[in-house]
Amino acid sequence: MEKIIIFDTTLRDGEQSPGASLESHEKLEIARQLVRLNVDVIEAGFPVSSPGDFKAVRLIAQKIKGPTICGLARCLKKDIEAAGEAVKPAKKKRIHVFLATSKIHMKYKLRKAEDEIARLAVEGVKYARRFTDDVEFSPEDATRSEKEFLYRVIEEVITAGAATVNIPDTVGYAIPEEFDELIRDIRNNVPNIEKAVISVHCHNDLGLAVSNSLAAVKSGARQIECTINGIGERAGNASLEEIVMAIKTRSDFFDVSTGIVTEEIYKASRIVSKLTGIVVQPNKAIVGQNAFAHEAGIHQDGMLKRRTTYEIMRPEEIGLSASSLVLGKHSGRHAFVEKMKKLGYSLNASGIDRAFARFKELADKKKSIYDEDLEILMEAEAAQIPEAWRFVSIHTVSGTNEIPVATVRLRSKAGSFDGTASGDGPVDACCKAIDKITKTKGEMMDYSIQAVTKGKDALGEVTIRVRVKGNVAIGKAASTDVIEASAKAYLNAINKLIRKGNKRLKIET
């Protein structure tokens, strides 16, 4: 298979994302991960743009071994000199010069005619060759340029010594079929095109950067410029991880390969996200937290039977340990039982029915179900005792200047019973209401609550020690509503005392 050159511009174009400015040492940290990823070219920055950028490019050129280190420059002597000096320490170095070729850019931005643009492009390439033999040229806004003029400029810069010609879709304007045709037309209409590598650099304004890049590969491009997580100007660049995994997963279609160590992809994504402060969206392809997560019951059932029913890649390929079956309200019994087995629990058929029903109740209240949630649920199932009283519902009213009042409904073999009481707080009121219904007088000796899991909707686990006439029992319960958890924990203790045979706690019916 032919190899596709992966040109990473995270440190140059990626850093142009609003708010993504990086310090030199942060750029170096990312560059070191790019080495582990085994990218071919690292575009380390735009040296003339600031002293800090020059310093960062210079540092990377000094410290990084393996990939080609590239600096960006306009077709201006001062830019090229800064880039040449910045990449000078690198064993393999490149200068990337660019100049706009579209009518809109030439008329409104550059205010120059075609002949002058062609001359400046050639002069820029020739001057860059004084610093390195590896020069890349980009006709900025190529996809909106007049084709005949584009062919002319490409031919002349190759003659001047450009080893790589990059075709940028600068504003993300192209459609894959158009971009495919453009690359084919360049190959067919530029006489000396075989003397240079055709590269592409696509932006994502219409969400087509990856599609356009892959279309270009099919039509002969052999270098792709991309960024980790697809960060970059405006809507970003083509995403490195999506391009690489598309080529790897569909090698039957593309018949090319990359040298990327894909097991380093996830780590690279997290490092870039951490240092730039740009959060990876959960449903982001390849590296989003949901990319290898399954919640729907049908999907989970298929995954448990054969992974390839719903996954076209293995999570290990990008550096993850495994897929995750996310338990939620859409999950089915099969996934629930398998998860319980992994957590070390074994239930008979009736136990599964009860635990699964309680799981579904919890899933309706919480967005995310964590292992700790399930452990609490299973502990409650394992601790099931014959209950004299079953909890049905609570209703509480409280406020800064209001006396807390609680109405509790419990059920026994004799039917449902309501009790209302006031207290020092809503928990105290609930406990007193339970006392009214059960004809008890419980003394709360200890009370503790802790969050079982993370998030605003975390389960709160309540532990209560209750004493009645010298007998003590500990009650536990968990809920996303701590008042409900408290009432259930108190009732759990009362039921234990009844089970112990305390004659003073006989059920009044």
Q: How many residues are given for the chain? A: 509
pLDDT given for residue 507 in this prediction: 37
Domains by residue range for the chain, with CATH: 2-276 (3.20.20.70), 293-382 (no CATH), 390-505 (3.30.160.270)
Give the predicted TM-score (pTM) of the model.
Answer: 0.70
Assign 341 to helix, strand or coil. helix
Cβ–Cβ under 8 Å, residues 233 and 18: no
Q: How far apart are CA 177 and CA 175, in angstroms?
A: 6
pLDDT in tens, 416-464: 999 999 999 999 999 999 999 999 889 988 898 877 666 666 678 888 9
The predicted-structure confidence for 88-135, as pLDDT tens digits, reads as follows 999 999 999 999 999 999 999 999 999 999 999 999 999 999 999 999
Judged against a pLDDT cut of 50, whether residue 506 lies above it is answered with: no
H helices of 343-499, where?
A: 349-365, 371-382, 426-438, 482-499
Asked whether 209 and 236 are in contact (CB, 8 A), the reply is: yes
Task: Please compute the mean of the pLDDT values over residues 369-388 and round it to a whole number.
Answer: 63
Average pLDDT taken over every residue of the chain: 88
User: What confidence tens digit (pLDDT) does each residue in 221-280 have?
Assistant: 999 999 999 999 999 999 999 999 999 999 999 999 999 999 999 999 999 998 998 889
Asked whether 224 and 199 are in contact (CB, 8 A), the reply is: yes
